[in-house]
Structure formats: structure tokens, C-alpha cells
Amino acid sequence: MEFIITETYDQMSRAAADAIAAKVRSCPDCTLGLATGSTPIGTYACLVADHKDGTLDFSDVTTFNLDEYAGLAPEHRQSYRYFMNDNLFDHVNIDKARTHVPNGANADADAVCNGYEQAIWDNGGIDLQLLGLGHNGHIGFNEPADAFPVGTHAVQLTESTINANSRLFDSIDDVPRSAYTMGIGTIMGAREVLVVVSGADKADIVAKAFCGPVVPQVPASVLQLHPACTVICDAEAASKLPR
């Protein structure tokens, strides 16, 4: 596991975007795994800027997002499909037909999850997976549990995640209670993983996940076992890492 510690959020974003851009330039038809949430917004802004500068071409890139709320249609402003269009896909020359987000509008969880997992592997797997980190150590919507879930599956969200995500909804009652997410096995199957983490409120979980024991109660801890995982933190998020 490699750590890159930057002073600021903007530098963290630039470093993550540089890693993604390098992958796309060296492998123009690569498959990126993407995340939503607040943390990668700056990374996506940097990628859009690179594209507008004429230095980054997404025309042959395929993407698979980590997760989606169950019950939200793609047009819903809080859906992760909407987020991805708004923050990245609508601003670069990616072929939308190659962008994949689990279909939250389909209530048939088995059909959505099995089809999504199959599509990832039929496509040859993920070359570079971008992740954020939840306060409770979740990655994607893989919440603390007694075992690491393997493939894409439906989950009930924990109170901690519902509370954290309620900032984006009119009321906490509007936050969906379940979601579809890649499993830990899906994420660990990516050839490279890039985790972005920002802010003092993430300092405890950064230290616990990346320097503590590997346990399913801290899902991100499993990334310590990934052969090519880079964590890019700003100074605040890194402040409790052992020196």
C-alpha cells in the first residue's frame, strides 16, 4: 500500500486526477471504476479541465460506478447516475453507452446485481478503481459486517451512512434505505485501486483502516491486502497516521 500525502484538498484532487489521466493516456481503452460522494468532486473537476485543455481523451474509456441508491431513477438529482453525468460524463467526450451505474430504478435486486457483476467481468474487469472512504470504513456501500461481501449485491444502509448522506437530501426521510453496490471481491479484483480521503473528520478512520487489523468490521481495511493500492490523503486526513 502506497501513501501520497498532500497539503490540501486541491492537491489531493490533482494527484488523483494525474493518476487517472496517466492510466487513460497509457491505455486509452481502459476501464475505470468510479465513485461518487464529496471527496472525488475535485478529482473529476481536474479531469474535466484536462479534457478541455485537449490533453485527455475519454472516447474509448469504459466506466463502472461502485454503487447506486435502490429506488432512485437515473434522472433523480440525488441518484449517482445524475451525479456522474453532472460532475464528469456531461463535460468530457466519453461515450455514455460505455458508462455503467447500477440501475436504481429496477427493484429486482438479483437481476440488477448479477447483471452488473457479469457485465464487469465480461468487459475484462476494472483497470483502475477510484474509491472514497466512509466514516465507518465503508467502501462503495459495503458497510461494517461480519464477513466481506464478494460480488455486487443489495444492502441496507446503516444509520451512520443515512445520516452522513442526508446532507444532500431535503430531509433524512428522503434518503433511500437500501442500495446496490459492488462487493469487496469486485473491488479487490480491480488491477489498481486509488483511494482519496480528505478532512480531519476522516483522520481516525484512515489510521484504523490502513494501519489497523484487516477485519470486515472495517471494510476498507481489506485494501491493505491489495497488491496495487494507493491512498491519496490531504494532511488533515493523514494526521493520525503513524509517522
Of these, 25, 29, 38, 52, which contacts ligand F6R (CB under 6 A)? Answer: 38
E strands, 109-227, in order? 128-131, 153-156, 178-181, 192-197
Q: Any contact of residue 36 with ligand F6R (CB under 6 A)?
A: yes
Of 94 and 157, CB closest to ligand F6R: 157
Q: Any contact of residue 176 with ligand F6R (CB under 6 A)?
A: no
| In the complex, least distance from residue 237 CB atom to ligand F6R, rounded to whole angstroms | 10
Q: Any contact of residue 13 with ligand F6R (CB under 6 A)?
A: no
Segment lying near ligand F6R (by CB under 6 A), choices 9-17, 37-45, 88-96, 230-238: 37-45
| Annotated active-site residue in 51, 138, 153, 226 | 138
Q: Any contact of residue 186 with ligand F6R (CB under 6 A)?
A: no
| Annotated active-site residue in 50, 67, 192, 234 | 67
The answer to whether 195 and 129 are in contact (CB under 8 A) is: no
Question: Nine-digit cell at 46?
Answer: 481536474
Residue 96 to residue 25: CA distance in whole angstroms:
19
Of these, 39, 79, 152, 186, which contacts ligand F6R (CB under 6 A)? Answer: 39
DSSP 158: P
Of 57 and 235, CB closest to ligand F6R: 235
| Annotated active-site residue in 143, 192, 234, 236 | 143
Runs of H (alpha helix) within 53-172: 80-87, 109-122, 159-165
Closest CA to 100 of 133, 122, 132: 122
| In the complex, least distance from residue 117 CB atom to ligand F6R, rounded to whole angstroms | 16
Residue pointed to by grid coordinates 475519454: 58
Residue 209 to residue 137: CA distance in whole angstroms:
6
In the residue annotation, 136 being an active-site residue is answered as: yes
CA distances from 57 to 23, 36, 60, 97 (A): 11, 21, 8, 16
Residue ranges binding ligand F6R (CB under 6 A): 35-39, 66-67, 132-134, 138-140
Give the residue numbers annotated as catalytic, written as ranges.
67, 136, 138, 143
